[in-house]
Each structure stands twice: as structure tokens, then as C-alpha cells.
Chains A and B, each alone.
Chain A
Amino acid sequence: MAFNLDSKTPEGPLADKWTNHLFNMKLVNPANKRKFNVIVVGSGLAGASAAASLSELGYSVDCFCFQDTPRRAHSIAAQGGINAAKNYPNDGDSVRRLFYDTIKGGDYRAREANVYRLAEVSNSIIDQCVAQGVPFARDYGGLLDNRSFGGAQVSRTFYARGQTGQQLLIGAYQALSKEIAKGGVTMHTRTEMLDVVTVDGQAKGIITRDLVSGEIKRHAADAVLLCTGGYSNVFYLSTNAMGSNVTAAFRAHKKGAGFANPCYTQIHPTCIPVSSEHQSKLTLMSESLRNDGRVWVPKSKSDGRPPADIPEDERDYYLERRYPSFGNLVPRDVASRAAKERCDEGFGVGESGLAVYLDFADAIERLGEDTIRARYGNLFQMYEKITAENPYKVPMRIFPAVHYTMGGLWVDYNLQTTVPGLFALGECNFSDHGANRLGASALMQGLADGYFVAPYTVSNYLGEHGEMQADKKVTTTHPAFDEAEAAVVARTERLMAVNGTQSIDSFHKRLGLIMWDNCGMGRTKETLTKALEEIPKLREEFWNDVRIPGDDKEFNIEVEKANRVADFLEFAETMCLDALTREESCGGHFREEHQSADGEAQRDDENFAVASVWEYKGEGERPELSLEQLEFENVKLTTRSYK
């Protein structure tokens, strides 16, 4: 049965939609709010801000995270900044311009109304964060400072040194802590969600595993919010944290939530290149470095000279050459592909030839080393720790790496998935970034969803569908919970019973290679078909030969990993299928068959101005595709040009 993908976008002019919608929503009487229990899975920017805000309203909230404390969620690693349409620098920014840049940056594959709302609430986020004590950078007069970022020609990015993510997360975590102290939120740390429980098609709770004791537990609720981040780790090597996973989203998908555009993955252009086969993760260097750093490769192939010995006229500043108006500040997908193109042609640098230079020599000469240190000191230090090279003296070597996933659970304008009562916020949903996310927009979206969208739309859902009477509520004794728990237990038992010879990590690495080689920066029908043949074989091998040491009724990191990798092994197939079905190039999805003569992505708006939403049909079965047609009434679809 195909999904009914009604986006529930409100009527009226773009700029009035959210205001009208707010007025038309159902409210819940303050005295009744405490009768509703809301589950929030994940405690990053989206999860922590949603849990805190819902508790402030009076709802009874249970919040879950797999880390030892909610403050460690991977939002913390965002470096560069957060966008808002404040126009403090007086350079011509506005809500409309932020909306336009974001929808264009996403290569016209996002829903207009959602993106406009994101731009609209962006300013409130900054106000909220400052009120919480987020120490954003300031100028000498005491006003907030802004910087520019890829894909925009205005300076609208607020930042806190190189650790904006950590500071915003601490803000949300402190708000969450305040609510935990008040008793409004019950926090469950070191706990992982393993299933969503649905009753008559509505989300009514979750099943979790306590990662310390191994105990499987049931939790009932009137609504469930998934704020569980993205799935970049399907590639094994990515800039995501080691624990980041698709499990919660994928298990929800298995229970009926449509998964939209899984092939939209963002490859970030400025990461530290892979150095050895033992590499466990990749490290990103903030895109803000491209404000002052110049990207180049030698003009001659396999030029073995040290960078300092290569004279100016023998260097190819290829971004400045190809994109004179945006130069080094082109969006991420464009910068990544350009780097890949140079390396594929044999101009790459470093031992592997899979790197390009990011050079600060000009900026240091112009501004002085102290200014560069003040702007990027911690990033330079981080680079030096990993590579043992001093970027003040030698240009950085960078290469693209998987960083963010624009695809995610399909949600309507209310952030509700195709399962009523199940919401998805932040990177977990597909909603705002289309086929490519602009820098400094992930933090904005996570906090927009958590602080300023979900508190209203979840209230509206509870006002319309919530059961207030305690004796009529679904409890954990409902047969649906028995069934879901039994399935979780059976799956874990099945995993433990394999008792094979190969480690979980070895399977994860192999899956990552299949995905990177065939569904990475460039994809073709041939590579995707190959991946679709290899993944089921690897999955079968996993289920026949994986070794999980120890017991599942104890603290056992291998059991955690096994569950996550098993889900990646299924999910990867849907991803490749989506990439194969989308016969166009757009944003982070580059099908090599669909490119212009000069190597730019070629969209097919006639056939693919759609969100592709997949419905789970069983393991190894082909998922069913439904389409949401994207309507563009306020922007004109043009070829994205940064020239």
C-alpha cells in the first residue's frame, strides 16, 4: 500500500503559513498537559531542546540517550556555526534570503514551506541561546559577531570559537538539566531504543535496552519523538561519532515510517585525509577555514615537490578558477566534487594522492599569524595533533569525507512521520536541506525543530488525538508491547547464537568500503547495481559468521555494535536502491551519467522534483516507493550556479 504523503502544508502566502498554522492548532489546557507523557529519543540539539521545551510546557517527558550523559550527543562536534537571518552586519540579509539560499543550496529538493519556517524561526534561536548563556563570539563593542560560510554571500553565521556545537548543546543540556531537576524530564542515559511500539497504527511507546545491565524495558507514551541523528556511519569511515547509528530510525521505518531520500548524503570537503587501514574515523576541519584558506593542487600531475617549492604560477587554485564569484566559498557538494575531480585526474597531493592543499600562507601574510590563530587556533591545533604537521608553516592536506545525511524519516509540515504520534526532528528527518545542506544550517534546524516547531505541533497532536483519561491509556501491559519486546529479545538471541568467527567491526568496514566505492561521491548505475548484489551477500555472511563475545545481559559494547551494524546492513540496500532510482544528479547525489559538459550536476526537474519515500516490506524484500511531489511557488528552479 502506497503512503499517503499529504504534507499538510498550511494554506496562504509563504510568509503567513506558519503564523496561520500556529493560530489554527489545537492547544492543551495547562492543567491537562501533565497527563500526557512524551518520549524523546536522543539528546542532541533537537532532542535536548525538544525535551526541555515540552517539559517547560508541562508535559511529562522521558528522554533517552546511549551516551553516559546527554551532553555528549554528536551535535557537540559541530565547529563552525549557526545561521540566522538577523542581518546584524547590515549586508542585505533577510528571512527571505536565508530561505532562498537554503532552498537553492539544497538544489531545489526541499519543501518550500518547511524551509521558509526554518528561516523564520532562526532569529528566535539566537535570542534563546544568548538568554541561556551561550558565549557566542562578540566584537569589541560587545555586539555579536558574524562570519560568512559556504553557499552564501552574506555574513549570517554566529559562532563560539571553533566549538559552536558544544556551546549550543551545553545550552540545551542545561535547559534539559533544569527540567530534570524540576521532575519534568526523566533522563535515561546509556539506554538505546530498539523498537517503536504501535497500537492501531499509532506510536504508543518504545522498547529499550539498558546498555549497562542489558535489561530490555518497555516505555509507554502518548507521542514519541525521534531525534537520533543521521546515518553517515553506514560508510564506516565518516566524521560522525563512533556510536552514531541508524537503528532508531530504521526500526521505526520497519514499523511503518517512510524513509525519504536515503541517497542524499553530504560529503564534506575539508576533512583530514585517511592515513591508514586502521583508521576508525575521519576528522572534519570546519568549513569556516575556507574563509581564509585557499584550495589548490599543482598544475602538473604527480608533482612530488613539497608545497613550498611549487611556485605560484605552477599552482592551480581550481575553485577560484572554476567559480570566480564564490571562489573558495562554494557549497560543500561543489567543493567536494571539484576536489575529487582533481584527484581522479591525477593532480592530488600527499602519499595517497587523495588530498588537496588548503593554504593559509596568503591570509597569514595579509592578517598576521595572531589573527589566524584567534580565528582558527583550535582547528590548527587539532590538525597538528592528528597529522604531526604545522599548518601555520605547511598547507593543510584535506579530502572530502562523509559528514551528514540529508535523507531521513519522511515528515509532514508538523514533523510527524507516516506513523501518527511518531515525530522526527533534526538530522533524523529529511525535511529542510533537500539534496545538500549548507554549512551552519544543521545546528539551526536541530534547534528550530526542538525549541520552536515540535512544542507546538506535538501539542496539536496531543490536543487532537491524545487520551487524557488514565484508565483508557495504552500501558506497557498491552499485547503490542509483549509482541515488540519478544521480537527484540528474539533478534538479540539470534545474534548471540551465531557464534561465528569474524568481528562486527570487520563487517562494518567491509560494508563501508562497498558503500564508499559504489554509493559515495560519484555513483553510476553500474556501481549501484554491484553494491545491491554485494550487500545481501555480506548481510548473509554476517548472520552466519559474526562473533559476539560475552553475554547480552551485561555491559557489552559488542552487542550494541552488532545491533547497529545489522541495521546498517539492511538500510544500505535501501540507500543504494534510492540512488539507483533517482536518475538525475542533485546536491550530494551525483550520478555520473547525469552531468553537464563541464562536470556540474544535472537535475531533472520534470521527473525528480520529488521526495522519494520508501516503505519497508520485509528483510531482503524490495521496499515500495511513494513520491511526494515538491511544489515550487515562490522560487524559480534554476541551474545552481556559483560561477
Chain B
Amino acid sequence: MKITLHVWRQKDVNSVGKMQRREVNDISQDMSFLEMLDKVNEDIIIEGGEPIAFDHDCREGICGMCSMMINGRAHGPDDGTTTCQLHMRSFQDGDAIHIEPFRARAFPVVRDLVVDRSSFDRIVQAGGFISANTGGCQDANSQLIPKIDSDLAMDAAACIGCGACVASCPNGSAMLFVAAKMGHLANLPQGQPERYTRARNMITQMDAEGFGACSNHYECEASCPKDIPVTFIGDMNRDVLKANTCSSAK
């Protein structure tokens, strides 16, 4: 395959970036998208240039490290797929491929396609946990959890924290990420004691980080590599409303 790449190059957070064009030959359909970039980088290094920086680690769709907007879609054209799981067979010979970093106010560019997503960590630190210190826990089977609740919690917990939802949202909103984190814990009995303080604190931190608000575009759901549904946002909004209004939730 032959393709034309247009890649965002930016030296660091303070520099101005720009798209750079590059013709690429000898691409096999069986290569993963990142293996295609590996090959491009190998060529660039041999030519004496500086390789394209991009985040990646597990290359099997679970660590959430890879990012990239590919032809305007987070993680590329395939549904329910991370960039590292995308293969070149999803493209045609002669295609032009535009690659940009995940863009959002709360995700500053570190270099080229690498962005800083530490805002997600700070949202979790604000309350996205259950305060169960190590030791002294009751037997794991002493509390029955209906399968339906456990499955729902698992649906939300499948979030890999990649930030595709933010990058796809016209408002740069992190609502789906935060809702997934809350939905995981709010659907389990263990998550109940801190449920409403958690909702309040995480939303407050989300706003402080500069993420936008939700205006129901649902781009987040469409781009989520783990197919997390927007219904969790509805659940979250209910919890936040209750946290802010009901005395029982203070």
C-alpha cells in the first residue's frame, strides 16, 4: 500500500505546531496502525530526522495509552477499537491519513501526538475510589451483589481512561469518563457510603480542570473504544443533582 500521511508535529507545549506531509510506501495491510508509524519512524531516523512522538504501550487495547485523532475520529475509523488495535486493512491504497493529537483544553500537547492527560488522575484523586484501607475486610461472599448490578458496574469499569470521549466532544467534555468512573462504584453496595460526596467532588474537579459541559452530542459514546454508553451520564447527573439538593445526600 501507498499512503500520504499528514501528521501533527509540535516540539513541546510552548511551541507552535503544524501538520507535516509525508509519502509512505511499502505498507502491508496486515500491519497495525502503530506498526505503520514504527516503520515511518524507522525511516525518519535513518534519514537523520526526529521520529514522530506518540503514546502507546500495551498494544492490545487495554492500557489506554494510545490516542490520536485519525482522519478526525478518535482512535480511527473502526468502532470499539483503540488505535493500537486498528490495522491498515481498514484503509485503501492511496489514502491520505490525517493524524492529530487528542485536542482539549485540559489535555495540553507534550510533543507531536503525545498529550498530558493527568487531569483524569486528579479527577479520580478527588473521589473516584472506595475508602477501604488494606486489611480487615469481610469475606468477599458475605455480601450478595445481584448479577445485574455487578454487570452494570463492570460495563462502566471497562473504561480504559484513554480520553477519546474528551477529544471527540465539541465541548471537550469529560462527562463520559467521569460518569464511567462513578457508574462503576455507584452500582456496587461498597460504593454507597461515599456515593454523593464522590459525585460532588469529582464533578467539581472536572470543572476545575477546564473540561467543558455536556450538550448531548453523544460523540463520546460513538468514539469510545470500550462502547461505554451515555446512559451513565444520565445516572451521574441524577447523583450530582441529588448530592447538591437533597439533605440525605449531603
* Complexed CA–CA distance, A68 and B101 (Å): 15
Q: Are B65 and A56 in contact (CB under 8 A)?
A: no
Question: Nearest chain-B residue to A128 (Cβ)?
Answer: B137
Partner of A142 from the list B39, B111, B144, B158 (CB cut-off 8 Å) is: B144
* Complexed CA–CA distance, A540 and B31 (Å): 31
Partner of A138 from the list B53, B62, B145 (CB cut-off 8 Å) is: B145
Q: CB-CB < 8 A to A506: which residues of B? A: 42
Q: Are A174 and B128 in contact (CB under 8 A)?
A: yes
Closest CB of chain A to B40's CB: distance in Å?
A: 11
B188 close to chain A: CB less than 8 A:
yes
Q: Are A67 and B134 in contact (CB under 8 A)?
A: no
Interface string of A180-195 (1 = CB under 8 A from B): 1100000101000000
Within 8 A of B (CB), among A274-294: 275-276, 278-281, 283-284
Q: CB-CB < 8 A to A74: which residues of B? A: 57-58, 63
Q: Are A68 and B65 in contact (CB under 8 A)?
A: yes
Main SS at interface, chain B: loop
Q: CB-CB < 8 A to B150: which residues of A? A: 135-138, 142
A53 close to chain B: CB less than 8 A:
yes
Q: Are A135 and B154 in contact (CB under 8 A)?
A: yes
Q: Are A174 and B124 in contact (CB under 8 A)?
A: yes
Q: CB-CB < 8 A to B116: which residues of A? A: 68
Q: Are A69 and B120 in contact (CB under 8 A)?
A: yes
Q: Are B60 and A243 in contact (CB under 8 A)?
A: no
Q: Number of contacts between A and B (CB, 8 Å)?
A: 217
* Complexed CA–CA distance, A550 and B41 (Å): 13
B81 close to chain A: CB less than 8 A:
yes
A80 close to chain B: CB less than 8 A:
no
Partner of A212 from the list B62, B110, B120, B146 (CB cut-off 8 Å) is: B110
Partner of A144 from the list B81, B129, B141 (CB cut-off 8 Å) is: B141
Q: Are A174 and B59 in contact (CB under 8 A)?
A: no
Within 8 A of A (CB), among B113-158: 114, 116-118, 120-121, 124-126, 128-135, 137-141, 143-147, 150-151, 153-154, 157-158
Q: CB-CB < 8 A to A242: which residues of B? A: 56-59
Q: Are B58 and A278 in contact (CB under 8 A)?
A: no
Contacts A241-B58, A505-B42, A547-B45; A135 near B144 (Cβ below 8 A): no
B95 close to chain A: CB less than 8 A:
no
Interface string of B34-70 (1 = CB under 8 A from A): 1100110010111011110101111111111100000
Partner of B60 from the list A52, A77, A501, A547 (CB cut-off 8 Å) is: A77
A161 close to chain B: CB less than 8 A:
yes
Contacts A56-B134, A128-B134; A77 near B129 (Cβ below 8 A): no
Interface string of B66-86 (1 = CB under 8 A from A): 000000000000101100010
Within 8 A of A (CB), among B169-189: 184-185, 188
**Considering residues B110, B134, B151, which has the most beta carbons from chain A within 10 angstroms of its beta carbon?**
B134
A49 close to chain B: CB less than 8 A:
yes
A557 close to chain B: CB less than 8 A:
yes
B92 close to chain A: CB less than 8 A:
no
A519 close to chain B: CB less than 8 A:
no
B204 close to chain A: CB less than 8 A:
no
Contacts A143-B144, A276-B28, A451-B134; A67 near B49 (Cβ below 8 A): no
Partner of A558 from the list B51, B61, B110, B117 (CB cut-off 8 Å) is: B51
Partner of A170 from the list B38, B57, B145, B157 (CB cut-off 8 Å) is: B157
B89 close to chain A: CB less than 8 A:
yes
Q: Are A69 and B110 in contact (CB under 8 A)?
A: no
Q: CB-CB < 8 A to B191: which residues of A? A: 133
Q: Are B58 and A77 in contact (CB under 8 A)?
A: yes
Q: Are A280 and B34 in contact (CB under 8 A)?
A: yes
Contacts A126-B140, A170-B157, A181-B125; A132 near B130 (Cβ below 8 A): yes
B231 close to chain A: CB less than 8 A:
no
What would be 22 A-B contacts, judged by CB atoms less than 8 Å apart?
A49-B134, A53-B133, A70-B121, A126-B140, A133-B188, A133-B190, A135-B151, A142-B144, A142-B146, A170-B184, A174-B124, A175-B133, A177-B129, A181-B125, A275-B30, A278-B28, A280-B34, A549-B50, A554-B11, A555-B110, A557-B53, A558-B51
Report which A residues bind B (CB closer than 8 A): 49, 52-53, 56, 67-72, 74, 76-77, 86, 88, 124, 126-133, 135-144, 160-161, 163, 165-167, 170, 173-175, 177-178, 180-181, 187, 189, 212, 239, 241-243, 275-276, 278-281, 283-284, 381-382, 385-386, 388, 451-452, 455, 501, 503, 505-506, 547, 549-550, 554-555, 557-558
Report which B residues bind A (CB closer than 8 A): 11-12, 28, 30-32, 34-35, 38-39, 42, 44-46, 48-51, 53, 55-65, 78, 80-81, 85, 87, 89, 110-111, 114, 116-118, 120-121, 124-126, 128-135, 137-141, 143-147, 150-151, 153-154, 157-158, 160-161, 184-185, 188, 190-191
Besides A132-B190, A555-B111, 17 other A-B contacts (C-beta < 8 A): A69-B117, A69-B120, A72-B65, A126-B140, A135-B188, A144-B141, A163-B62, A163-B158, A177-B121, A177-B129, A241-B57, A278-B38, A281-B59, A381-B80, A554-B12, A555-B114, A558-B45
Across the A-B interface, give the 10 residue pairs with the lowest CB-CB distance, nearest first.
Answer: A142-B144, A174-B129, A131-B137, A131-B132, A130-B140, A135-B154, A181-B125, A127-B137, A53-B134, A241-B57
